[in-house]
Copies of this chain bind each other. A is one copy, B any other.
Amino acid sequence: MPASVSLWPVSGIPEIRSGDPLAEKMLPSLRELAQAGDVLVVTHKIVSKAEGRVVDLTTVEPSEWARQWAEKWKKDARQIEVVLRESAGILRMEHGIIVSRTRHGLVCANAGVDRSNSPGETVCCLPDDPDASARGLSSSLSQSLGFTLPVLISDSFGRAWRIGIINVAIGVAAMDPFTDYRGQDDPHGYPLEASIMGSADAICAAAELVMGKTDGVPAALVRGFDWKPMENPSSKSLIRPLDQDFFR
């Protein structure tokens, strides 16, 4: 029987501020909890905050266009302005919802710009380079802990055809983001052709079960999943290339 997998909330992480050394701030909690073989999932919010990717809305001058659209849909024009700045392209802009492709290539609502869990009149943007953030965390934490700790940076995304947000991996370090069943045979000997599990996304989705939005638990450890080490994984590999995107 395959072993069980367990999900552990990482609590005790202090409130993170711009410029904070995130690995150092997380280390005391992880020293108590983390074990060799674990994967660490970190919500992007604390990464963005540590990296100063928080925008004070009182400093934002919205364009006329952002102003008009915000007025029409009763949104904060300054926040809309930030969303537009963070977007490389707009896919849909209807009913007050902006679905855009971020500079990272991620397709999500509001370019990942989020007001919740940010103090005061601020919004939180996605990290500039979430893979680099993940690599930095993984390398620093692995060194301190004495074993390789892969890191996934997560955000909760809406989906094209389904209701409810689900965590996905927007940054990956030290592990293969996929489990590739191709080439293996199923128990009936039929090759599993189109079977590549997005394990990094599945792990992030799982982590949400112990993190919750309101509990203020910004990280989780996933124990018992048989991940494959990888030196330079890229979260870009989890993004469907534009030329394969049927739903632009």
Q: Report how far A5 CA is from B191 CA in the complex, Å.
A: 33
List 16 A-B pairs, Cβ < 8 Å.
A5-B6, A5-B209, A92-B247, A107-B161, A116-B193, A160-B247, A161-B245, A162-B168, A164-B196, A164-B199, A166-B166, A179-B212, A184-B214, A197-B213, A202-B205, A209-B225
Q: Which residues of A contact B (CB under 8 A)?
A: 1-2, 4-9, 11, 91-92, 94, 97, 99, 106-107, 109, 115-120, 156, 158-168, 177-179, 181, 184-188, 190-203, 205-206, 208-210, 212-217, 222, 225, 237-240, 245-247
Least Cβ distance of A210 to chain B in Å? Answer: 5
Q: Report how far A149 CA is from B118 CA in the complex, Å.
A: 38
Least Cβ distance of A202 to chain B in Å? Answer: 5
Instruction: Known contacts A115-B190, A214-B186; decide if A198 and B247 are in contact (CB<8 Å).
Output: no
A94 proximity list for chain B (CB < 8 A): 246
- Contact B9 A7, beta carbon cutoff 8 Å: no
- Contact A11 B4, beta carbon cutoff 8 Å: no
A208 proximity list for chain B (CB < 8 A): 197, 202
Q: Report how far A119 CA is from B214 CA in the complex, Å.
A: 47
- Contact B116 A186, beta carbon cutoff 8 Å: yes
Q: Report how far A225 CA is from B162 CA in the complex, Å.
A: 21
The chain B residue sitting closest to A164, CB to CB, is B198
A9 proximity list for chain B (CB < 8 A): 1-2, 4
- Contact B162 A240, beta carbon cutoff 8 Å: yes
